[in-house]
Amino acid sequence: MTIEHKKDFVRETIKKDLKEGKFNYVNTRFPPEPNGYLHIGHAKAICLNFEIAKEFNGKCNLRFDDTNPTKEEQKYIDAIKEDIKWLGFDWEDREYYASNYFDKLYEYAELLIKKGKAYVCDLSPEQIKQYRGTLTEPGVPSPYRDRTIEENLKLFREMKQGLYSDGSKVLRAKIDMSSPNLNLRDPVMYRILKKSHPRTGNKWCIYPTYDWAHGQSDSIEGITHSICTLEFEDHRPLYDWFIEQLGIHHPRQIEFARLNLTYTVMSKRILLELVKRKIVKDWDDPRMPTISGMRRRGYTPQAIRNFASAIGVSKADNTVEFEYLEHFVREDLNKKAPRVMAVLNPIKVIIDNYPEGIVEELEAVNNPEDSSAGKRKVPFSKVIYIENDDFMEKPMPKFYRLTVGSEVRLRYAYFIKCESVVKDKNGNIVEIHCTYDPQTKGGDAPDRRKVKSTLHWVSAKHAIEAEVRLFDKLFLTENPLKTGEGKNFLDNLNPDSLKIIYNCKLEPSLANAKPFDIFQFERVGYFCVDKDSTSEKLVFNRTVTLKDDWQKIKSKLIN
């Protein structure tokens, strides 16, 4: 799987570092927090880190930042690993955890205390925030800032031994309370948290903060290029300070703009809230922007990787249209998805002059974009189903599908002409009666007469039933987090983000379809078999419609 990448400042920086001898190898890493599922924004970072490593004949580590046992779970670790592998990347034997380094991080912390660069502080979290100051006012030193090295070592070791309650003490770096960068105003390095850790059990009751563990973990692993999103740019001076004080291997940190997508929320906290409130079924709900949700919906790894490559890497924050992502999904599925016929809103058509009891096996193309996909047989008989929307008794102007007295082509079959309809007592059409022209088998007339429409259909006798779930955007507004006074993101939810259609009629070739199989329902869209499917009843998720809105949106953006 080869993807062409545009030149970008990250790759150019790495080239420069190698040329100047700053590093003689490349080792990147992807460092997720196991407190939720990965989303499309993480996919961009995954692609960037693993593909850069490959381009420069280097390596990419997978390191779980498991420094907060109150929010981390094994199910998240398992899901993250599955997502990365599904995208097509392999960290080989380099699966690491920040918790692997807890002993070393503690040793480093004592070293900073001994150098007079860290101290134990008894201020509460609220007081620390208050003392920190603002962007326009300097911070106020903690009254505990000038404790002796001996006292700080004693207190820190007692914190480790569990002699103090949660929140009663922290270890802070001693840097500069008047720094214009708030991250340098004596940040917290350790907090007391008497909580069992999934990997280290009850060994620790103090845990490192992200800011303390992050840079040192990179250093321990020999990472050359720590590629982060822009919110870490202001943290870089802190990471540099820690590493310089410790005198250890110094990775280069490079920041890039995170992915923002219209109609989409990228906050794991908010995504978790959607799950907890049961607004969605779970993290892998096909409406979610999670990688597992997109996989369940029918997105392909190649489509996501192509999208990530196309949007590129920049320093400027911007928002990408959701339709651009869908464009790459369609583009990939068009090449790969087998074509089948499925009628979502069926109405019965009886071909009056077709022989009773006869079944023909008609030849259908599996994928016109891929000649190697071959052909299949579809059964045709006297009674078929077509889409309800493909018939109008009293047609509107420019309605070219089936009407009383008009003729249309049935895909791979014959021309049919509507002669009459049958209605129920409420006036609803329940049957359409047609005649067919036996000379038009295969869809062409010997006299070369033309019809204006070709319809898909399913033989009623052979149809299998399925449930089809039609998904739309989860939010109604391009920026779901932008709300009016007294409102929140929940007010922007789309009440029609999921519509379920029961008793859809599918051609019999789909009887053996398995979860995650993807098809194009001709004239309807791309669909994926859901994991809820059983041998008794298939369930399909609409991946994306056939209509590609990207070019229209692109034209508006340019103009």
Q: Is the pLDDT of residue 3 over 60?
A: no
pLDDT tens-digit series, residues 187-228: 999 999 999 999 999 999 999 999 999 999 999 999 999 999
Instruction: Give the architecture-level CATH label for domain 9-261.
Output: 3-Layer(aba) Sandwich (3.40)
Q: Is the pLDDT of residue 550 over 90?
A: no
For residue 313, the model assigns a pLDDT of 95
Q: How do the domains of the chain map onto residue ranges?
A: 9-261, 334-341+465-559, 345-463
pLDDT bracket for residue 554 (50, 70, 90): low
Let me know if 199 is a catalytic residue: no
For residue 151, the model assigns a pLDDT of 98
Which three-class secondary structure state does DSSP give residue 359? coil
| Residue among 54, 104, 117, 258 flagged as catalytic | 258
In which element (H, E) is residue 193 found?
none
| Residue among 174, 236, 268, 297 flagged as catalytic | 268
CB-based burial label for 46 (10 Å; 0-12, 13-18, 19+): buried
pLDDT tens-digit series, residues 417-434: 999 999 999 999 999 999
* CA dihedral sign of residues 268, 271, 276, 280: negative
Name the CATH superfamily, with its identifier, for domain 334-341+465-559. Answer: Ribosomal Protein L25; Chain P (2.40.240.10)
Q: What is the DSSP string of 428-489?
A: -EEEEEEEEEGGGTTS--TT----S-EE--EETTT-EEEEEEEE--SBSSSSTT---TT--G
**How many angstroms separate the CA atoms of 68 and 66, rounded?**
6
pLDDT tens-digit series, residues 50-64: 999 999 999 999 999
Task: Name, in order, each residue with C-beta under 8 angstroms of 211's C-beta and a sequence gap of 6 or more.
Answer: 183, 187, 188, 189, 235, 238, 239
CB-based burial label for 209 (10 Å; 0-12, 13-18, 19+): middle
For residue 549, the model assigns a pLDDT of 76
For residue 535, the model assigns a pLDDT of 85
For residue 24, the model assigns a pLDDT of 97
Q: Is the pLDDT of residue 5 over 70?
A: no
Let me know if 258 is a catalytic residue: yes
Encoded amino acid at 452, one letter:
K
Q: Is the pLDDT of residue 182 over 80?
A: yes
Q: Is the pLDDT of residue 557 over 80?
A: no
pLDDT bracket for residue 1 (50, 70, 90): very low
Instruction: Give the architecture-level CATH label for domain 345-463.
Output: Beta Barrel (2.40)
Task: Name, in order, each residue with C-beta under 8 angstroms of 449's C-beta and a sequence gap of 6 or more.
Answer: none
Strands of the 188-192 sheet, one edge to the other:
118-121, 170-173, 188-192, 206-208
User: Residue 280 — left, alpha, or beta (φ > 0 → left; ψ -120 to 50 → alpha)?
Assistant: beta
Terminal alpha carbon distance of the chain: 35
**How many angstroms separate the CA atoms of 226 and 220, rounded?**
12
Asked whether the domain spanning 345-463 has the same topology as the one spanning 9-261, the reply is: no
Q: Is the pLDDT of residue 6 over 70?
A: no
pLDDT bracket for residue 485 (50, 70, 90): confident
Percent of the chain with pLDDT over 90: 93
Q: Smallest Cα–Cα separation from 318: which of 259, 267, 377, 374? A: 259
With a threshold of 0.95, does the pTM exceed it? no
**How many angstroms separate the CA atoms of 266 and 270, rounded?**
8
What value, to the nearest 5°, has the Cα angle with vertex 504 and ends 510 and 391? Answer: 120
pLDDT tens-digit series, residues 257-284: 999 999 999 999 999 999 999 999 999 9
**Which region among 174-188, 479-493, 495-509 has the lowest average model confidence (pLDDT)?**
479-493
**How many angstroms separate the CA atoms of 23 and 205, rounded?**
37
pLDDT tens-digit series, residues 359-417: 999 999 999 999 999 999 999 999 999 999 999 999 999 999 999 999 999 999 999 99
